[in-house]
Every structure is written in C-alpha cells, then in structure tokens.
Amino acid sequence: MNRDFILNIAEYDKANGTLVRKIARGNKKAGTVIGSLDAYGYLVAEFNRKKYKIHRLVWLIETGEFPESQLDHVNQKKDDNRFCNLRAVSHKANGKNRPLQRNNTSGTSGVFFNRKTEKWVAQIRVDGNRITLGGWNEKKLAVEAKKEAEIKYGFHENHGRDV
C-alpha cells in the first residue's frame, strides 16, 4: 500500500477525517465514505484483499509513510480520523490515554469502594505494576489522589474520560 494508490481512489476530507471514493467500485458509488466499523470500533477498509485501518491510511496520506508505532486517537473517539486527532505513540504511551471503562462504577478510572474496609481506594497501573495509592473515607480524596498520580506518571489529560 502506498500514498499514490490511496490518493488515486480516494480523497481525504481533512475537516471530518474521512476518505471519500473518487471512483465507483462494485456496488460502492463515487462520493461515498470509505470504511466500516470493525469489532473494536475502528473504521477499516479493504484493498487488494487486505484490511487497513482508516486512521493508518490518513497518517500515510498526511506524512507519506505508515506509522512505525501505534496511533492514538487523542480525543479517544476511534472513528475520529482527523489528522489533528492522531499522534504516533508507543504502546505504553497509548495506554496512558484510555477512556473510562464501561464496568467502572465510581466515575473515575482506578477508584473504587472497598466493602471490606469501607474505604474509597485509588490505584494506578504503571509499567504493568499496580500501585495502590491509599484508602479514604471520602470518594473526593481518592479521586484527587488518582488525578495527582496520573500527572506524576505522565498520563494524558484525557485518560479515564467518559467518551
């Protein structure tokens, strides 16, 4: 896959991060958006029997080469493929910009109520190690401790945000 191939069949709309077909192909009409959501929420397209994530194709169009590392969607929206929303990062850095998990009940990543101790506990995972920051009677204090730890360990400001 190369930049010229993509640009011959698609136009990149920088305003909304989409690839738009220049020519009809099969039952796909010219002018339609290229890509469909995969099981993980990323937009993907197939060319020559190989699947490509749209955000990686956008990176190729804008920089001239595929990223060697992972691409992070800064705003955590996996289908927002505007180049300004993408950044090349290591796997470790990408993990420091994760959205709030669906099974979270406290509203803050890494904060939960421990029924045994009847305390709000704050934890953070750094380099694969879980660090318990402490336990508090007030949820607010556990949240503050978690936010301070995120700053200390270089987490992205959007980490743990509810998308």
DSSP letter string, 56-122: HHHHHHHHSS--SSEEEETTS-TT---GGGEEEE-HHHHTTSPPPPTT-SSSSTTEEEETTTTEEEE
Domain definitions of the chain by residue range: 3-93, 98-152
**Token reading at 46:** 């197939």
3-93 shares its CATH topology with 98-152:
no
Q: Is the pLDDT of residue 26 over 90?
A: no
Dihedral angle at the C-alpha atoms of 138, 121, 154, 81, nearest 10 degrees? -90
Over residues 111-129, the mean pLDDT reads: 95
Instruction: Report pLDDT digits (tens) over 42-66.
Output: 999 998 899 999 999 999 999 999 9
Over residues 26-52, the mean pLDDT reads: 94
Q: What is the pLDDT, as a whole number, of residue 19?
A: 96
Over residues 81-95, the mean pLDDT reads: 95
At the fourth CATH level, the homologous superfamily of domain 98-152 is AP2/ERF domain (3.30.730.10)
* Assigned fold of 3-93: Homing Intron 3 (I-Ppo) Encoded Endonuclease; Chain A (3.90.75)
Considering only 14-18, 46-50, 134-138, which range has the smallest mean pLDDT?
46-50
